[in-house]
Amino acid sequence: MASPIEHEDSCQQEEDEEEEEEAAAAEPKAPKIRDTPEDIKLEAIVNTIAFHPNQDILAAGDIDGDIYLFSYSCTEGENKELWSSGHHLKSCRKVLFSSDGQKLFSVSKDKAVHIMDVEAGKLLTRIPKAHKVPINALLLVDENIFATGDDEGMLKVWDLRSGTSFMDLKHHEDYISEITIDQAKRTLLTSSGDGTMGVFNIKRRRFELLSEFQNGDLTSVCIMKRGRKVICGSSEGKLYIFNWNGFGATSDRFAVQAESVDCIVPITDSILCAASIDGVIRAVSVLPNRVLGSVGQHVGESIEEIARSRDTRFLASCAHDQLVKFWDISSLTDMRVDDYRRRKKKDRRLKALSNKAFDTGQDFFAGLLDSTEENRKKQEEEEEEDSDSGSD
By percentage, how much of the chain surpasses pLDDT 90? 76
Question: 25, 66, 22: which is closest to 42 by C-alpha?
Answer: 66
Question: 78, 105, 77: which is closest to 93 by C-alpha?
Answer: 105
Check whether 388 has a pLDDT greater than 50.
Answer: no
Q: What is the mean pLDDT of residues 317-321?
A: 97
Radius of gyration of the chain (CA): 25
Confidence tier at 347 by pLDDT (50, 70, 90)? very low
Q: What is the mean pLDDT of residues 204-231?
A: 97
Check whether 235 has a pLDDT greater than 50.
Answer: yes
Peptide bond into 128 cis (omega under 30): no
pLDDT digits (tens, 9 = 90+) for 266-285: 999 999 999 999 999 999 99
Phi and psi angles of residue 278, each rounded to the nearest 5 degrees, phi first: -80, 0
Question: Which contiguous run of DSSP H or E holds residue 164?
Answer: strand 164-170
pLDDT at 46: 98
Phi and psi angles of residue 377, each rounded to the nearest 5 degrees, phi first: -65, -40
Angle at 208 between CA 203 and CA 209, to 5 degrees: 155
Sequence-ordered list of residues with C-beta below 8 angstroms from that of 129, at least 6 positions apart, any chain:
111, 112
Q: Please state, rounded to an integer, the average pLDDT across all residues of the chain.
A: 87
pLDDT at 13: 64
Instruction: Tell me if residue 252 falls in helix, strand or coil.
Output: strand
Q: What is the mean pLDDT of residues 357-375?
A: 43
Sequence-ordered list of residues with C-beta below 8 angstroms from that of 381, at least 6 positions apart, any chain:
none
Predicted TM-score of the model (pTM): 0.83
Distance of alpha carbon 287 from alpha carbon 296, whole angstroms = 23
pLDDT digits (tens, 9 = 90+) for 145-200: 999 999 999 999 999 999 999 999 999 999 999 999 999 999 999 999 999 999 99
Least confident of 292-296, 331-335, 368-372, 375-379: 368-372
Instruction: Tell me if residue 52 falls in helix, strand or coil.
Output: coil
pLDDT at 29: 75
